[in-house]
Structure 1
Amino acid sequence: MEELLRPDRLYDLISELVMCHSPSGAEAEIDRYLLAQFANLELEHWQDAAGNIVAKIPGPKNNPASNSAIAITAHKDEIGAIVKSINQYGQIEIGKLDGSFPWVYGEGIVDLLGDRETISAVLSFGSRHISHRSPQKELQTSKALSWDDAWLETKASPQKLAAAGIRPGTRMVISKHRKQPFRLSEDYVASYTLDNKASLAILLTLAEVIGQTNGQPKTDVYLLASANEEVGAIGAMYFSNQRSLDALIALEIIPLSCEYPIEDNDAPVLLSQDAYGVYDENLNRGIAQIAQDHKLALQFAVLNSFGSDGSIAMKFGHVPRAACLGFPTENTHGYEIAHLGAIANCIRLLYAYLK
């Protein structure tokens, strides 16, 4: 088990996942990767009508708990932007998709995921050597940058863009040119889209650990790479409405901020409440007890401006119990930084809990 949790191995797996584009609603690239990984692990798996990738690990058939099931989710979509219009010069007006902000990306290369071809463009805010006669002057003096002030320069004709399948509704993401993760000291990974590619690494490694150790869980477990989480937890809502689940545990990044009592170390974080409601206290106590029994440090937090597959599914009555387990992360929804040890400890804790 410990060989699978080495920082080098987790970093390599996260790097592979990050390089698969997956803006909400245009997740085909990460879908292909995940389906191949679950096939290699010889798990029963499928893609459902909502776009979720699901792998099932069965519990013992003669166990009374086998009538129930638990889902562990990690959403596979990432934040980005969406094309609104294209002018005669091939300049593209874009709008917000999910929790993205243009100042987080800065000017630079982005990818447009066309229906037939991916086209690179430059996220642009305009020149600096200007006076008040230019509208972007106020961005230097008094106004916060928004998507309304940004555009994409493609230097391509509208005809060429149309041939690539670039149209209103096309998704924009940070380009692979800028996406390669960076190893920040021995313990940290820094990258765009650790939300939620690092949680997918937890999901895949957990499946591999269970298979390698023959660690059959106490009940049926669904490993759910959920679709469209950033735009309303659509995939998890669909899945939890279709299946009878005893509990759902969402894997997430957890924001580091002065307003939250979270330390930047290798201890996972368990949430008690977020913007969508409270998590199940008995489920949290059970997870915390397992952490204590296995001498795994665990942090607790209440968050604002945050939601997960778990809190949203529980709020709408799709699951009776939900929890959210994650790893402390700097710069959430930006160029994120996370402790590889905290990611590994999420896997250790989940493995112990499932047994």
Structure 2
Amino acid sequence: MSTYPNVNETKELIKQLVSIPSPTGYTANVIQFAEDFLKNLNVETKRSRKGGLLAMLPGKNQDEHRMLTAHVDTLGAMVKEVKSSGRLKLDLIGGFRYNSIEGEYCEIHTSSGKTYTGTILMHQTSVHVYKDAGKAERNQENMEVRIDAEVSSPEEVRELGIEVGDFVSFDPRVEITENGFIKSRHLDDKASVAILLQLIKRLKEENVTLPYTTHFLISNNEEIGYGGNSNITPETVEYLAIDMGAMGDGQSTDEYTVSICVKDATGPYHYGLRKRLVELAEKNSIEYKLDIYPYYGSDASAAIKSGHDIVHGLIGPGIDSSHAFERTHEKSLINTEKLIYHYVLSDMIAY
């Protein structure tokens, strides 16, 4: 049995993933990246009609299957309107607030394939002009994109090929520190995607035969609520979403352990699977925290709501400042991957 994979590889994989723009609805490039990664491991993949990526590792038990998911789509925006000034009004993709993107660099992805850079700003940014610049509400009416091009009218903007409906992605500003932190936008959920890809790599390198046939879904519509609610085989009995653990007041989740979610906004996760995950963590000296995420839903909860008769669970690395300038630590990545590794090798179904 090999030692734990080099966490530096996981961090580098996260850096590569967050650097590929992929707001929900614009995920083809990052799905291709994941597909190429798995093909290099000789893992067969297929695309769902929704654009997600599916892979499978056969197990001893082919009558009862497991499924693990992580989502590669991120928060982002679309061009809502080309304003008379030549700036752009945005419409948000995903659940976040305008204040979290104020001053952010962005890219506008046109339908012709061209990309333009810009900055997301308040219309009333200049304190030398707008007396109440600090008091103005951060909302769709007041925030706009300043395009890095010589444009001052809708006609000039459209000559560039920019139009309503073009996707807008945010600069991840990814940075890996010497003391183990990784900070970036879109760690939700590309940190977990990297962990899942690294897990598959380890299983292939160790030539492990899993106790249960196990499916892997890199979903691409989670941020809008339905990424992982389909392509679940009838044999699937356990469904584990790998997503971020949310931190804040009243939360036990931190940046150094794996978070095991017991309940989110959709209700409790399966009690038996939760207890099984805790048992595996304690047996294998994995540091974990149990937590409730009050304003949260996952691919697993989407699968339950769509009517699948499955046992569902949710775990993930602890992420600070979710849906904004996120940060986690390599200790959380390690503990999360360890728990998933021991879970897929476990020979007990939770129901």
Q: Same fold (TM over 0.5)?
A: yes
Look up the SS of the partner of 1:77 in the other structure: coil
Which 10-residue stretch deviates more, 270-279 or 114-123? 114-123
Q: Quick one: structure 1 residues 160 and 38, their matched pair in 2 at CA, closer, same or farther if it must change by over 3 Å?
A: farther
Q: Which amino acid aligns with 1:253?
A: M
Choose the corresponding residue for 1:235, options 216, 221, 227: 227
Summarize deviations over 1:253-303 as a string: whole Å, max 9, x none.
1111121122442x2010110001110011111121111221212210111
Q: Which amino acid aligns with 1:239?
A: N
Greater share of residues in helix = 1
How far residue 349 of structure 1 moved from its aligned partner, in angstroms, is 1.3
Q: Which amino acid aligns with 2:331?
A: G
1:150-299 map, 5 Å: 150-154=143-147, 155=149, 156=151, 158=154, 161-162=157-158, 165-175=161-171, 179-232=172-225, 234-240=226-232, 243-265=234-256, 267-299=257-289
Q: Which amino acid aligns with 1:122?
A: T
Q: Which amino acid aligns with 1:341?
A: K
Give, in whole Å, the separation in 2 of the partners of 1:139 and 1:122: 17
Choose the corresponding residue for 2:127, options 126, 129, 133: 129
The answer to whether 1:83 aligns with 2:82 is no
Summarize deviations over 1:141-171 as a string: whole Å, max 9, x none.
3x54123210112243645644665322222
Contact 1:51 1:235 in 2 (8 A): no
Q: Quick one: structure 1 residues 3 and 295, their matched pair in 2 at CA, closer, same or farther if it must change by over 3 Å?
A: closer
Choose the corresponding residue for 1:145, options 138, 146, 153: 138
Give, in whole Å, the separation in 1 of the partners of 2:314 and 2:107: 31
How far residue 243 of structure 1 moved from its aligned partner, in angstroms, is 4.8
Give, in whole Å, the separation in 2 of the partners of 1:334 and 1:354: 32
Give, in whole Å, the separation in 1 of the partners of 2:120 and 2:173: 18
Summarize deviations over 1:226-257 as a string: whole Å, max 9, x none.
0110001x2311223x6542111111111111
Q: Quick one: structure 1 residues 14 and 3, their matched pair in 2 at CA, closer, same or farther if it must change by over 3 Å?
A: farther
Contact 1:271 1:303 in 2 (8 A): yes
Summarize deviations over 1:184-234 as a string: whole Å, max 9, x none.
3422111111011101101100000100111221111111100110001x2
Q: Which residue of 1 aligns with 2:349?
A: none
**TM-score normalised by structure 2 residue count:** 0.90
Look up the SS of the partner of 1:248 in the other structure: strand
Look up the SS of the partner of 1:236 in the other structure: coil
Q: Which amino acid aligns with 1:334?
A: A
Q: Quick one: structure 1 residues 91 and 310, their matched pair in 2 at CA, closer, same or farther if it must change by over 3 Å?
A: same
Look up the SS of the partner of 2:336 in the other structure: helix
How far residue 45 of structure 1 moved from its aligned partner, in angstroms, is 0.5
Unaligned runs of 5+ in 1: none
Give, in whole Å, the separation in 1 of the partners of 2:71 and 2:158: 31
Give, in whole Å, the separation in 2 of the partners of 1:328 and 1:147: 30
Q: Which residue of 1 aligns with 2:16?
A: 16
Give, in whole Å, the separation in 1 of the partners of 2:240 and 2:161: 38
Give, in whole Å, the separation in 2 of the partners of 1:50 and 1:317: 18
**Identical amino acids, percent of aligned pairs:** 22
The answer to whether 1:35 aligns with 2:32 is no
Summarize deviations over 1:44-96 as a string: whole Å, max 9, x none.
11111011111111112xxxx31121111001100011111113442111112
RMSD: 2.0
**How many residues end up aligned between the 2 structures?**
340
Give, in whole Å, the separation in 1 of the partners of 2:104 and 2:93: 18
Q: Which amino acid aligns with 2:98?
A: P
Give, in whole Å, the separation in 2 of the partners of 1:225 and 1:196: 10
Summarize deviations over 1:88-143 as a string: whole Å, max 9, x none.
44211111210232321222421011112111122121333356xx5xx54513x5
Q: Which residue of 2 aligns with 1:339?
A: 329
Contact 2:229 2:300 in 1 (8 A): no
Choose the corresponding residue for 1:94, options 90, 94, 98: 90
Which 10-residue stretch deviates more, 93-102 or 219-228? 93-102
Give, in whole Å, the separation in 2 of the partners of 1:85 and 1:246: 46
Contact 1:277 1:315 in 2 (8 A): no
Give, in whole Å, the separation in 2 of the partners of 1:28 and 1:160: 29
Which 10-residue stretch deviates more, 208-217 or 242-251? 242-251
Q: Quick one: structure 1 residues 39 and 164, their matched pair in 2 at CA, closer, same or farther if it must change by over 3 Å?
A: farther
Q: Which amino acid aligns with 1:310?
A: A
Contact 2:185 2:324 in 1 (8 A): yes
